[in-house]
Structure 1
Amino acid sequence: MKWSRLICLLSVAQFAAMLPATAQKLPVIQQAAFKKDTFRIQSYGAKADGISLNTTAIQAAIDACNKKGGGVVLIPKGFWLTGPLVLKSNVNLHLAKNSLLQFTSDFNQYKLVKSEWEGVPQMRNQSPLSADNQQNIGITGYGIIDGNGDAWRMVKKEKLTASQWETLVASGGVVNEQGNSWFPTEKGFKASKMKNPGVIEPGKTDEFYESVKDFLRPNLLVFNKCKRILFQGVTFQNSPAWCLHPLLCEDLTLRGVIVKNPWYAQNGDGIDAESCKNVLIEDSYFDVGDDGLCIKSGRDEAGRKRGIPTENVIIRNTTVYHAHGGFVIGSEMSGGARNIFVEDCTFIGTDIGLRFKTTRGRGGVVENIYVNNINMKDIPGEAILFDMYYAAQDPVPMAGEKREAPKVQLLPVTEATPVFRNFRINNVICDGASKAVFVRGLPEMQISDIEISNLVVKAKQGIDIQEAKGITLKNVKLEIAQTAPLINIQNSSNIKFAGIAYEKADRLFTISGEGTKNIQLSGTSVTAAGEKAVFKDGAAANVLEIKK
């Protein structure tokens, strides 16, 4: 049996055993465990009428549970309105069936706190759910946690139907001068015109931060420097910004969870594991407004100074519906990411399937990423994307939007130069995408050492490789609408194609750039192609070797 045929039959654990030593052992995630002692929030004065604010009562139950050595704080069935809550060690916040924990839309209940946004220290509103330096904490059960994000978020007109937009504008708030964005409050609208209003810097007073408070949307959940965390069974939804944000945490398990945000939710990520170690995400569902399953580790100089990668991550048996990306690394990955295993996941309607993004200025090394058994359907963008020119835009242009390709120039390598290397992607099926594979590195730091095997893609465009080296694609089946060319290669070297199946192609290759060399094609029929290759922009014809 051929090596590539064998791999597709293996689990990630078996697959990893055949890989370099860095990938031979799956990480072990320590599990949280809780006493059975139960603290009922009604005993502390909570009322399930959807009107009474239960912050004090629920927090009192959490505090009492913690002081008595831990246990379960029970949210019974019913509608429970609350302000922000702080979880503590050895407490399992458990939501019963038919329970709704609704966070208030009263911004006055959320104090301004020193926090982070996209890896940079900033003032933010206190998160509805937070924990700092705690151990053995959980949120479990069967109920719903709603962050009331609609009260906080701006909305772009282009993401709503005409009737939805009219209804939103009629509800109040402020529309910008261009008439294309709606803001819930005047204060939030004014702050949106400022550059980084939440950044903590000399000269900004408490009064200033208060003046931009409405703009400083909180993440629904932020756990900072916590250990042994369990999220299980519950639904997290409608977050003001990111939904789940574990930061500098260790031993996190997320199991059987549903994460939901409106598809138009600005910054409505599902989970952003940032500078975390030992993470297990399994048997869960994401349907959100930005990236679904996302790995981060800080941004630019601040992330490099922290210098803590996200590492030892297992993601399996998880489905992502709408999202900017199904599984994503970056773009804030300045502390690095490594030893990440993704297996048996399905992405339906995500803008991009596998999305690896960064840009100059980030720095950081992303390496040892292993992906196995991925199903995709109806992907508007790329099925597999590596891009070192991330520009903080929605991955798929809106109707009528024009975007220019980035200017390619060679710059010096510095600590701010990002690195992508050593990815192994196996057994991916995608029914519908704009492009099958897109790899775009930097002239000074090419993306390197990527192997993609057992890939089946139906897409408008085929394979596009720019500024890369050491790329291997084998056992690839392409059904491509635009076949001139099927494969584009620009300024790349040591690129190997083995066993590429396709029905037809007007042109098999377009190869360009003086830096292009050593392109090999084997195990592939060239008779279905109108022409084999076109060479331009300094690429020599002898860089392509075709073997039987």
Structure 2
Amino acid sequence: MEKILIFILVLLCLNTVECKKYSRFAKSAKYSAINCRKHSAVLTDFGGRGDGKTSNTAAFRAAIANLSKAAADGGALLIVPPGKWLTGSFNLISQFTLYLHNEAVLLASQDEADYPLIDPLPSYGRGRDAVGKRFASLIFGTNLTDVVVTGGNATIDGQGDIWWKKFRGNQLKNTRPYLFEIMYSNQVQISNLTMINSPSWNVHPVYCKDVIIEGLTIIAPVDSPNTDGINPDSCTNTRIRDSYVVSGDDCIAVKSGWDEYGIKFGMPTQHLSIKRFTCISPDSAVIALGSEMSGGIQDVRAEDITAINSQSGIRIKTGPGRGAYVKDIYVKGFKMYTMQYAFWMTGSYGSHPDEGYDPKALPIIQNINYRDIVGKNVTIAGDLAGIQGDPFTGICISNMTLDLASKSKILSDKPKKQPWNCTDIAGTSSRVSPQPCDLLADKQPGKSLDCAFPADTLPIDNVQLKTCKANV
């Protein structure tokens, strides 16, 4: 029946300029979004060519500029149809959805000229790769409301190898582009996409609120530099769901600014919910808190997390000069397979933006809760090092069983590492194996303690997505 309908539409269109408009509605795909849109267009309407060679930067910019007129009238949807679409950086708009067809591949340009230079983030004071400016991200936006980037698990290929070579060779004067960055915005959604080979970070919402990130597959070579998966940065009310990351750096890196710049800017990441997340990162963390955390990190809730062949499960990275706090952290339901560290806290992390930081700006690390943890082939249960004179307090670990790696897995020319190493911390434990260090001794032996996990629901968890239609 569908084929007959398409044939009739084609016949009706033979002698009319409306053919392109009608044929577009022959097929449709459903997707979930914060809001559906009243108006729509296809990238080819604006000269787009999906041959993998022609630059579509101008087509994206023209399409989005044209669709901005619909923002006040129900918003607009831009469809990227099947094909390979080479493009440089382009900016999003409010009340807008970018939908990538499941057979579409977005290819990031490898030409620096296709990425405008923008100022460093005010909470960082400089670029992260170099003291200069930053290349705008492939998909970028600022000061927006209600913006969605989604698709039928379409692929965004950052083609990052040329950027990695420049970074390793100290050839960059400005910070590499990310695949997705949105700033000072609210009601943000990025979902149901595959991202590969990002030049640096993949997904970076910064100074945002009400952010939904779900259904992402993010993959980069495990030796690629700084290819973090998802980096919520000075954001409030964020949820991360049902995603999978293979990375050369942290799979999720929670941030809020760098030393004196982050302290002055003073915008924390708070009310972050993470569920059903899987990570592979042999040299980094599944979930990292910091190291740039100078605006504060508070109320992070993570559950149903799986780590495979990763350096550490949860890592807190901070040090003198960072200031602010990491507090009210709750983790439960964590499965670990082949890990160097289950838990790692570092109070001596360096990496300062410049010499202007205050070494007396000491961070507060408190109320850290880990429960219901199982692990196999784990080398070190916990390496927890606070700061002398500024101990990390209120650490709680309960109902955790780790099977340690066999002796044959540890290099024979090095002394065997102890399963726990604890300095300048204070806390408690219950039903933990291997037995924790004395600083985490069971305060009520014989009694069963469960570390805290909030019973309430964050507002972002209550947001229900609508079922929308993209006529492709």
Alignment match of 1:390 (pick from 349, 355, 370) = 349
Question: Which residue identity lines up with residue 315 of structure 1 in the other structure?
Answer: I
User: Which structure 1 residue ranges, 5 or more long, are not aligned?
Assistant: 1-30, 155-172, 174-180, 192-211, 394-412, 479-485, 498-519, 525-548
- CA 1:415–1:391 in 2, change beyond 3 Å: closer, same or farther? closer
Q: 56-65 vs 335-344, which deviates more?
A: 56-65
Shift of 1:488: 4.5
Structure 2 segments unaligned to the other structure (5+ residues): 1-32, 128-132, 353-357, 406-417, 448-472
Over 3 Å counting, the alpha-carbon distance change for 1:452 and 1:150 in structure 2 is: same
**Corresponding position of 1:127:** 137
What's the counterpart of residue 530 of structure 1?
A: none
Cα distance in 2 between the residues matched to 1:347 and 1:238: 21
Other-structure match for 1:98:
103
1:182 offset after TM fit, Å? 5.2
User: Which one of 394, 398, 421 corresponds to residue 449 of structure 1?
Assistant: 394
Partner of 2:445: 522
Q: How many pairs align? A: 388
Alpha-carbon distance in structure 2 between the residues aligned to 1:347 and 1:437: 15
Letter in 2 for 1:355: R
For residues 377 and 259 of structure 2, the distance between their equivalents in structure 1, rounded to whole angstroms, comes to: 35
Other-structure match for 2:28: none
Using the TM superposition, give the Cα deviation of residue 423 of structure 1 relative to its aligned residue in structure 2, in angstroms. Answer: 1.2
Instruction: Decide which of 160, 166, 180 is 1:149's aligned counterpart.
Output: 160
Match of 1:282 among 223, 237, 241: 241
- Corresponding residue for residue 67 of structure 1: 69
CA distance in 1, matches of 2:305, 2:365: 22
How far has the Cα of 1:391 moved from its partner? 4.4
Equivalent AA in structure 1 for residue 392 of structure 2: I
Q: Distance in 2 between matches of 1:434 and 1:254?
A: 32
Q: Distance in 2 between matches of 1:182 and 1:257?
A: 27
Is 2:320–2:359's contact at 8 Å kept on the other side of the alignment? Answer: no
Equivalent of 1:112 in 94, 113, 117: 117
Does the CA contact (< 8 Å) of 1:131 and 1:224 recur in 2?
A: yes
- Contact conserved, 2:52 with 2:84, CA < 8 A, in 1? yes
Q: Secondary structure at the match of 2:281?
A: coil
The corresponding residue for 1:409 is none
* Deviation at residue 386 of structure 1 after TM alignment: 1.6
Indicate the residue corresponding to 2:58 in structure 1. 56
Shift of 1:432: 1.7
Counterpart residue type for residue 53 of structure 2: I
Q: Residue in 1 aligned with 2:5? A: none
- 8 Å contact from structure 2 (residues 123, 256) kept in 1: no
* Deviation (angstroms), 1:116: 2.9
Tell me, yes or no, if structure 1 residue 465 matches structure 2 residue 465: no
Report the equivalent of 1:307: 266
Q: Is the 8 A contact 1:118 1:332 kept in 2?
A: no
Matched, 1:333 2:293: yes
73-82 or 381-390: bigger deviation: 381-390
Offset of residue 331 of structure 1: 0.6
- Tell whether the 8 Å contact from 2:429 to 2:436 is kept in structure 1 after alignment: no
- 1:94-149: per-residue Cα shift (whole Å, max 9, x none)? 00011101011111212221133983334111211110101111110121111221
Structure 2 distance, partners of 1:308, 1:252, is 16
Q: 1:134-183 CA deviation, whole Å, 9 max, x = no partner?
A: 111111012111122112113xxxxxxxxxxxxxxxxxx8xxxxxxx953
Higher relative contact order (CA 8 A, sep 6+): 2
Distance across 2 between alignment mates of 1:252 and 1:87:
15
The correspondence of residues 479-498 of structure 1 with structure 2, limited to 5 A, is: 488-489=437-438, 492=439, 495-497=440-442
Equivalent residue in structure 2 for 1:475, among 431, 434, 448: 431
Instruction: Verify: 1:429 aligned to 2:388, yes or no.
Output: no
Say yes or no: does 1:45 pair with 2:50: no
Select 1:270's aligned residue among 229, 232, 244. 229
Query: SS of the residue aligned with 2:300?
Result: strand
Aligned counterpart for 2:327 among listed residues 357, 367, 372: 367
Equivalent position of 2:206 in the other structure: 247
Give the C-alpha shift of residue 523 in structure 1: 4.0
Mapped partners of 1:523, 1:281: distance in 2:
37
Which residue is equivalent to 2:147?
137
* SS of residue in 2 equivalent to 1:356: strand
* C-alpha contact 2:215 2:243 (8 A) present in aligned 1: yes
Deviations 1:23-43 (A, max 9, x none): xxxxxxxx8313142210101
CA distance in 2, matches of 1:366, 1:348: 25
Question: In the alignment, does 2:189 pair up with 1:230?
Answer: yes
1:96 corresponds to which letter in structure 2? H
Structure 1 contact 34–90 (Cα < 8 Å) conserved: no
CA contact 2:123–2:261 (8 Å) conserved in 1: no
Please report how far the alpha carbon of residue 234 of structure 1 lies from its aligned counterpart in structure 2 after TM superposition: 0.7
* Aligned Cα root-mean-square deviation (Å): 2.2
User: Does the 8 A contact of 2:39 with 2:70 survive in 1?
Assistant: no
8 Å Cα contact 1:256/1:284 also seen in 2: yes
Whole-angstrom CA distance in 2 between matches of 1:144 and 1:427: 35
Identity of aligned residues (%): 30
Counterpart pick for 1:80 among 75, 82, 85 = 85
